[in-house]
């Protein structure tokens, strides 16, 4: 990733475009193995289009790994349903776990699912103009509960890093965000969740 060593201007668009980015990554459906609890529904979705469809895209700008530097970016999570579970990002705890993060909703409607190692779980719905200040020590994931892209602007200290394995080892997050059967969403306990074990 190229270093930026002087103040840089960004332009942030509601569709997730970030002019001035120096990194982009994408996730496709086939990359989400093991993320959804209804594996039959997930496998069927993969079989339908070969798993090549885009599920989310992240554009970001970082000044580099220096202590105190910020990573600023956009996350665009496309809508989807796997069984009654809404489309999610993989989710993570920061590798430097006390690092906080801001998420500000640019468009769409979604939920930030936030959990602690010791079992607290909170679901914060975001609509455009709303933000959540995620404290350090909270596992976090985006969930799209609408039928249009859920786009957020985020920023965190670059040296935070990401630990994705924590959620996989726990067989998913403690809570699932699922359809409530009336066009909305609700929280359901994930019966397979084994609790988090921080490395
Ligand atoms: Mn994060």
Q: How many A from CA of 46 to the centre of ligand 1?
A: 26
The predicted model gives 123-131 an average pLDDT of 98
CA of 195 to the centre of ligand 1 (A): 20
Q: 127 or 8: whose pLDDT is higher?
A: 127
> Is pLDDT of 130 > 90?
yes
Q: What is the pLDDT of residue 45?
A: 97
The residue count for the chain:
199
Determine the number of helices (DSSP H) and then strands (DSSP E) in the chain. Answer: 2, 15
Cα of 183 to ligand 1 centre, how many Å? 28
Q: What's the 57 CA to ligand 1 centre distance in angstroms?
A: 14
* Residue owning tokens 């975001």: 126
- What H or E segment, with its residue span, contains residue 50? none
The CATH class that applies to domain 11-189 reads mainly beta
pLDDT in tens, 66-112: 788 999 999 999 999 999 999 999 999 999 999 999 999 999 999 99
Q: What is the strand order of the sheet 23-28 is part of?
A: 23-28, 54-62, 70-77, 150-157, 101-107, 131-134
Domain residue ranges in the chain = 11-189
How far is Cα 33 from Cα 53, in angstroms, rounded to an integer?
A: 14
Q: Measured in angstroms, how far is the CA atom of residue 40 from the centroid of ligand 1?
A: 29
Is pLDDT at 1 greater than 50 in this prediction? no
Burial of 86 (0-12, 13-18, 19+ CB in 10 A): buried
How much distance in Å is there from the Cα of 148 to the middle of ligand 1?
22
196 Cα–ligand 1 center, Å = 17
């Amino acid at each position: 990733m190229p270093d930026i060593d002087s103040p840089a201007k960004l332009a942030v668009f509601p569709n997730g475009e970030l002019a001035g980015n120096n990194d982009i990554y994408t996730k496709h459906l086939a990359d989400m193995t093991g993320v959804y609890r209804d594996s039959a529904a997930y496998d069927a979705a993969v079989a339908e289009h070969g798993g090549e469809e885009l599920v989310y895209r992240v554009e970001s700008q970082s000044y580099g790994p220096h202590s105190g530097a910020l990573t600023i970016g956009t996350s665009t999570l496309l809508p989807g349903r796997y069984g009654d579970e809404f489309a999610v990002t993989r989710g993570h705890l920061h590798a430097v776990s006390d690092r906080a993060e801001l998420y500000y909703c640019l468009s769409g409607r979604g939920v930030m699912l936030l959990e602690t190692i010791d079992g607290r779980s909170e679901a914060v719905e975001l609509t455009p103009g709303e933000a959540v200040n995620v404290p350090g020590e909270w596992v976090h994931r985006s969930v799209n509960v609408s039928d249009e892209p859920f786009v957020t602007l985020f920023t965190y200290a670059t040296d935070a890093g990401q630990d994705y394995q924590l959620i996989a080892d726990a067989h998913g997050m403690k809570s699932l965000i699922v359809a409530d059967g009336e066009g909305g969403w609700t929280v359901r306990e994930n019966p397979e969740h084994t609790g988090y074990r921080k490395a």
